[in-house]
Amino acid sequence: MESCVMDLPVHSDPLKGSLSVIESNIQIPFEIRRVFYIYGAQKNVRRGGHAHYKTRQALIAISGSCKVSLDNTKRKENVVLDSPSSMLILEPDDWHEMYDFSEDCVLLVLASHYYDEQDYIRRYQDFCEVYS
């Protein structure tokens, strides 16, 4: 599978605001095992800089915006996350970096696996050897 941006369903009311729903194996194509969020990142800081062997993730800019660079050795692209109704499904075979954070950015990440340091590929050269 390839990483892709998906729209989340939005239920809006002029007085009550908007609500988006995220359910395991429905809007997100995996069971959610871990949730974390990034906030307070400076605009010139890059986060991530790794890939995974098995963990899939869903990234949502709940507030503000950021960019995500993706590289699976066959294609490179940059994705802008700037809406809480849009999410990036990030596959394990994408080397990814988050950057250009707005001051108010809160980036929510839903992961398919619990944290396991052995699941991380932290050197780009090793990543290219695994996924080329």
Question: Is the confidence at residue 118, as pLDDT, over 90?
Answer: yes
Would the pLDDT of 64 be above 90?
Answer: yes
Distance CA 121, CA 111 (A): 16
Within a domain: 85: yes
Question: Does 1 have pLDDT greater than 90?
Answer: no
Mean pLDDT for 7-34 is 95
Three-class SS state of 75 = coil
Any domain includes 1: no
Examine residue 89 and state whether it is found in any structural domain, yes or no. Answer: yes
Q: Could you say which of 50, 52, 96, 113 is catalytic?
A: 50
Q: Taking residues 10-29, report their average pLDDT.
A: 95
Percentage, residues of the chain above pLDDT 70: 100
Q: Which amino acid is at 100?
A: D
Residue 52 appears among annotated catalytic residues: no
Residues whose CB is less than 8 angstroms from the CB of residue 63 and which lie 6 or more positions away in sequence, other chains included:
84, 104, 105, 106
CATH code of 69's domain: 2.60.120.10
Do 82 and 59 contact (CB within 8 A), yes or no?
no
Return the pLDDT at 92: 98
CA atoms within 13 A of residue 25's CA, in its CB half-sphere: 2
- 89 touches 63 (CB < 8 A): no
Average pLDDT, the chain: 97
Query: Is the pLDDT score of 31 beyond 90?
Result: yes
Whole-number pLDDT of residue 26: 93
Is 20's pLDDT higher than 90?
Answer: yes
Query: What's the confidence (pLDDT) of residue 34?
Result: 98
User: How many domains in the chain?
Assistant: 1
pLDDT value, residue 4: 96
| Residues of the domain holding 122 | 24-131
Collapsing DSSP to helix, strand or coil, 88 comes out as strand
Asked, for residue 15, whether it belongs to a domain, the answer is no
User: What pLDDT score does 58 carry?
Assistant: 98
